[in-house]
Chains A and B, each alone.
Chain A
Amino acid sequence: MTDTAPAVELAGLTKTFGTVTAVDGLSLRIEPGEVVAFLGPNGAGKTTTVDMLLGLARPDAGTVRVFGGTPGDAVRLGRIAAVMQTGGLLKDLTVAETVRMTAHFYGHSRPVTEVLERAGIADIADRPVGKCSGGQQQRLRFALALLPDPDLMVLDEPTTGMDVEGRRDFWQAIRADARSGRTVLFATHYLDEADAYADRIVLVRQGRVVADGTTAEIKNLAAGRVVRATLPGADQAVLAALPGVQSVEVRGDAVLVHTEDSDVVARHLLTRTDARDLEITSRNLEDAFLALTTAAA
């Protein structure tokens, strides 16, 4: 790869529908090779942003660059591909026919059998699309997106409406694929998906980025970590005075310290006190998500 341009560069992106501002000055930069979750509640502006990224909608203000060019350029060269939420399939074609037909729309594409294998639908190749389950149709969309071997794969709420097993199978296919160094951006409102499959989470609310960082950073941001240790007669005042400490709680012989900087607390406990059985736990992502997305604007 000779490009030095970011995979995605959104700057000041704005889109309004009537009186509703769906996307409100959103900026985002994604480097090649990143696996990014675009996480937010329904109505946060995720799909509108994705549409503008793909060139399906025109921003009212701001710019979209994909590998330094326009979305249209990226589409024409097969550098970007997307798995959309619903629709977009012909019911009267078979799975294999859909893939074969789409393959001819690209100047260069992976072999049909290969993408069917990788999407896990080789066994239903001859089934009419109209007779496929929602999960199978979604894997077919994924197979279509694999055809150009895109540098950037965009998935818009790809597992909406799938059962647990369908979601797991789908992500297994995506995850196996992401190892090839492809840049992946997926919009989701499922926290566990963002947590499990992304390196980086971009949290959006009301059309704006409210947090952006690694999964660990996002968790820390709202909730910090809890350091728990067994320490009879702990000096609460000393612990509370450590940098980053939010609260100290004593339960019998155990002490629980809520902190933004668990390293400082752990170091203190292990070097200056007789603390043992030390545990550090993060609050789960759901706490962070709720804290960030329900806070007042």
Chain B
Amino acid sequence: MTVTASSATTSTREAGNRRPPALGGFSAPVLGIEIRRVLRNRRTLMFILVMPAVFFLLFGLPQRGQNLDNGLPVTGWIMISLAVYAAMVATTSAGAAVATERALGWSRQLRLTPLRPAAYVATKVATAMVLGLLGVLVEFTVGAASGVRMPAHVWVESGLTAWIGSLVFAALGLFVGYLAPAENVMQFMGPALAILAMLGGLFVPLDILPHAMQQIAKFTPVYGVGQLARAPLAGGGVDWAAVGNVAAWTAFFGLGAARLFRRDTTRV
């Protein structure tokens, strides 16, 4: 019963080799595998890339030829709104993936590796932002191909705002992900995001809603990002209410996620 028998050992059992990972385990190859993993999921692709594009073709194109008061096309207004929608669905679902990973016990497995919890979250946020960017780019490509014409600075500024603004939804995704250890969290987040997008004025202009509804809508999390992303097109200076909205919701979701995250990953 000796298993410790001497046989040629290929193992390097030297303490000198041992070191914690650089950047706590955050690395580009891992990010690459994560992104490939998400892109392999047809349902996710459907929601973040195909659906917003189809929405544009269905609801945006019929408005072709109509202009805003400043002479810029209504289709641009719709395209930017839907780009915000695509980015928010993408970043929320990437953030909410932690729910699935907690349900599957992967987070527990990770605790047996040197990966730092902060590096894990950073990977999730980075994945979310890559997907969010993809969502914006696809929507803008579909828009451009369908004949949307706007000044170059509007494309760039609106695109960047829609993209960077979706960070608030990466935080929302993480918040929900740490709240609900369910594998199918996006099943209820999908409809919830659609309602938020509606209240945020991404699907229809808020002006057509009842007045009371409009007032409430201004305090919902999508409103601010939508307003800011369309500002380069609509013009009219800085909308401080929208800036406040984005700042407040980013702080709320970010702190909430951080709090739940700490509870989840407290080491002994």
A binds B: yes
Interface, chain A (partner B; CB < 8 A): 1-3, 33-35, 54-58, 71-72, 75-79, 81-82, 84, 86-93, 97, 100-102, 104-108, 141, 144, 148-149, 151, 175, 178-182, 184, 197-199, 214-216
Which one, B4, B7, B18, contacts A33 given CB within 8 A? B4
Q: Which of B9-17, B69-77, B216-224 contacts A (4 or more CB under 8 A)?
A: B9-17
The 5 nearest A-B residue pairs measured at CB? A87-B105, A88-B109, A58-B268, A107-B19, A180-B11
B105 touches A88 (CB 8 A): yes
Chain A nearest CB: distance from B185 CB in Å? Answer: 15
Q: Measured between C-beta atoms, what is the minimum distance from B121 to chain A in Å? A: 14
**Chain A contacts for B109, CB-based, 8 A:** 84, 87-89, 141, 144
Q: Which residues of A contact B27 (CB under 8 A)?
A: 104
Q: Is the interface of A mostly helix, strand, loop or mixed?
A: loop
Which residue in A35, A90, A182 is a CB contact (below 8 Å) of B37? A90
Q: B13 touches which one: A1, A35, A89, A92 (CB < 8 A)?
A: A1
Bound complex: CA A144 to CA B108 (Å): 14
Whether, in the assembled complex, B210 has its beta carbon less than 8 Å from a beta carbon of chain A, the answer is: no
The answer for the CA separation of A106 and B18 in the assembled complex, in Å, is 9
B3 pairs with A178, CB closer than 8 A: yes
Task: Give the shortest distance, in Å, between A247 (CB) and chain B (any CB).
Answer: 28
Closest partner residue, chain A, to B111 (CB atom):
A56
User: CB of B209 within 8 A of chain A?
Assistant: no
B97 nearest in chain A by CB position: A90
**Once the chains are docked, how many angstroms separate the CA of A93 from the CA of B108?**
17
Q: Are the C-beta atoms of B112 and A82 separated by less than 8 Å?
A: yes
Contact with B108, one of A81, A88, A216 (Cβ below 8 angstroms): A88
User: Knowing A77-B114, A151-B13 touch, does A179 contact B5 (C-beta < 8 A)?
Assistant: yes
Residue contact A56 to B115, C-beta cutoff 8 Å:
no
Question: What residue of chain A has the Cβ atom nearest to residue B30's Cβ?
Answer: A104
B residues apposed to A, CB below 8 Å: 1-5, 7, 9-15, 17-22, 25, 27, 29-30, 33-34, 36-37, 40-41, 101, 104-106, 108-115, 267-268
Please name 16 pairs of A and B residues whose Cβ atoms are closer than 8 Å in the assembled complex, sorted by A: A35-B3, A57-B268, A72-B268, A75-B111, A76-B114, A77-B18, A78-B114, A79-B18, A87-B106, A92-B40, A104-B21, A106-B25, A107-B22, A108-B19, A180-B9, A182-B11
The answer to whether A55 touches B18, judged by C-beta atoms less than 8 angstroms apart, is no
Contact A104 B1 (CB under 8 A): no
Chain B residues near A107: list those with CB within 8 A: 18-22, 114
| A1-B4 contact, Cβ under 8 Å, with A82-B112, A87-B104 | no
Closest to B38 in A: A92
CA–CA, A175 to B21, complex, Å? 29
The answer to whether B11 touches A1 (Cβ under 8 A) is: no
Set of chain A residues within 8 Å of B22, measured between Cβ atoms: 107
B28 closest partner in A (C-beta):
A104
Q: In the complex, which residues of chain A have a beta carbon less than 8 angstroms from the beta carbon of B7?
A: 179
A107: nearest chain-B partner, CB-CB: B19
Cβ-defined partner of A93 (8 Å) among B33, B111, B115, B268: B33
Question: How far apart sit A100 and B225, CA to CA, in the bound complex (Å)?
Answer: 37
CA distance A175 to B7 in the complex (A): 12
**What chain B residues lie within 8 Å of A90 (beta carbons)?**
37, 101, 104, 106
Q: Which residues of A contact B37 (CB under 8 A)?
A: 90, 92-93, 97
Complex Cα–Cα for A54 and B5 (A):
27
- Whether A54 lies near B13 (C-beta < 8 A) is no
Question: In the docked arrangement, what's the CA distance between A179 and B10, Å?
Answer: 10
Would B1 and A149 count as touching, CB distance under 8 A? no
Instruction: Assess whether A89 is in contact with B104, with CB atoms less than 8 Å apart.
Output: yes
**Residue numbers in B under 8 Å from A35 (CB-CB):** 3-4
Nearest neighbor of A196 in chain B, beta-carbon distance: B1
Residues in B neighbouring A100, C-beta threshold 8 A: 29, 33
Instruction: Flag if B104 contacts A72 (CB, 8 Å).
Output: no
Q: Give the distance to chain A from B127, nearest Cβ to Cβ, in Å.
A: 12
Chain A CB within 10 Å — which of B1, B30, B109, B113 has the most? Answer: B113
Q: Decide if A105 touches B113 in the complex (CB within 8 Å).
A: yes
B183 to chain A, nearest CB (A): 10
Q: Which residue of A lies closest to B183 (CB)?
A: A91
Indicate if the CB atoms of A149 and B115 lie closer than 8 Å.
no
Pick from B11, B40, B41: contact of A149, CB under 8 Å: B11
How many angstroms from the CA of A78 to the CA of B113 in the assembled complex?
7
| Least CB distance, A188 to chain B, in whole angstroms | 15
List A contacts of B34 (CB < 8 A): 101
In contact, B33 and A149 (Cβ under 8 angstroms): no
B36 CB contacts on chain A under 8 angstroms: 97
A92 touches B20 (CB 8 A): no
When C-beta atoms are compared, the residue in chain B nearest to A86 turns out to be: B105
Contacts of B19 in A (CB 8 A): 77, 107-108
Q: How far is the CA of A90 from the CA of B36 in the complex (A)?
A: 13
Beyond the given A56-B111, A105-B25, A215-B1, please list 8 additional residue pairs across the A-B interface where CB-CB is below 8 A.
A54-B112, A78-B18, A84-B108, A84-B112, A88-B104, A90-B101, A97-B37, A181-B4
A181 near B108 (CB under 8 angstroms)? no
Docked pose: A92 CA to B100 CA in angstroms: 11
Contacts of A108 in B (CB 8 A): 17-19
- Distance in Å from the Cβ of B104 to the closest Cβ of chain A? 6
